[in-house]
């Protein structure tokens, strides 16, 4: 079992830790985080595959769920907009009492 033995006085890091503690005088990074980063190298000489950020991973889950809605007979429409993607789900409403999306005019919980 690896144990991190990082010292708060040193800016170095041990072999088990790839991070260092930030001092109050350290500045924030100027650039924003990337949408993906490289995953660990497989050790077989091939380049590592990109690793999705959490937000991009959640967007792939949403895309998959919307595909399943289409497979079950629902309609899903996408519209490109300067402010972002618009997803339209015809015949889907939100119940005001249960705060739940449902297909058709009547909430199944009501």
pLDDT tens over the chain, length 110 residues: 444 444 444 444 444 444 444 444 455 455 556 666 665 655 666 777 788 899 999 999 999 999 999 999 999 999 999 999 999 999 999 999 999 999 999 999 99
The reported pLDDT for the residue numbered 48 is: 75
Q: Establish if 32 belongs to a structural domain.
A: no
Would 88 be classed as within a structural domain?
Answer: yes
Count Cα atoms within 13 angstroms, Cβ side, for 96. Answer: 1
Domain that holds residue 90: 54-103
Q: Does residue 34 lie within any of the structural domains?
A: no
Q: How many CA atoms lie within 13 A of 99 on its CB side?
A: 0
The whole-angstrom separation of Cα 65 and Cα 61 is: 6
Tell me if residue 38 falls in helix, strand or coil: strand
- Is 97 a domain residue? yes
Residue 93 CA to residue 66 CA, distance in Å, equals: 15
Residue 5 forms part of a structural domain? no
How far CA 51 is from CA of 57, 73, 104, in Å, comes to 9, 33, 39
Residue 71 falls within a domain, yes or no? yes
Whole-model pTM: value is 0.53
Q: Which residues pair with 36 in a beta bridge?
A: 52
pLDDT at residue 35 in the model: 64
Is residue 79 in some structural domain? yes
Q: What is the distance between the alpha carbons of residues 56 and 78, in angstroms, rounded to a whole number?
A: 17
Total domain count, the chain: 1
What is the CB neighbour count within 10 angstroms for residue 52? 15
Residue 92: inside a domain: yes
């Amino acid at each position: 079992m690896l144990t991190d033995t990082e010292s708060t006085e040193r800016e170095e890091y041990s072999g088990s830790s790839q991070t260092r503690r930030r001092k109050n005088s350290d500045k924030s990074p100027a650039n924003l985080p990337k949408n993906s980063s490289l995953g660990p190298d497989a050790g077989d000489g091939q380049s590592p595959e990109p690793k999705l950020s959490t937000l991009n991973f959640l967007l792939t889950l949403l895309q998959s769920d919307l595909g399943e809605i289409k497979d079950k007979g629902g309609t899903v429409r996408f519209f490109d907009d300067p402010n972002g993607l618009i997803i339209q789900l015809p015949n889907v409403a939100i119940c005001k009492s249960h705060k739940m999306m449902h297909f058709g005019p009547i909430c199944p919980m009501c």
